[in-house]
Amino acid sequence: MINLIIMAGFKNQTKDTHQECCFLKGILAISARRALQKEKIDSLEKLSDYTEKEILQFHGFGRNTVEKLKIYMKENDFAFRFEA
């Protein structure tokens, strides 16, 4: 019975981790996705709170990655925040 409780907790934890790692899978490399995960950015809405310049400071983000991200965001009606 204890094993079932432990396994149930593990299954829920695995599901949460799986959802986080899959945000932008197929769009960005794993290093860029991990950087977003580290910053707790798990949606395009949260991502749109940042400027391109801020995103470029993250590990795993270069011009090419940001361009891919801009295209994907535009297709989904999102954009980076404008710099003031």
**Strand ranges, E, within 1-84:** none
Please give the chain's pLDDT, 84 residues, in tens: 565 555 555 554 444 444 445 889 999 999 999 999 999 999 999 999 999 999 999 999 999 999 999 999 999 999 999 987
pTM for the whole structure: 0.71
Q: What is the 3-state secondary structure (H, E, C) of 5-18?
A: HHHHHHHHHHHHHH
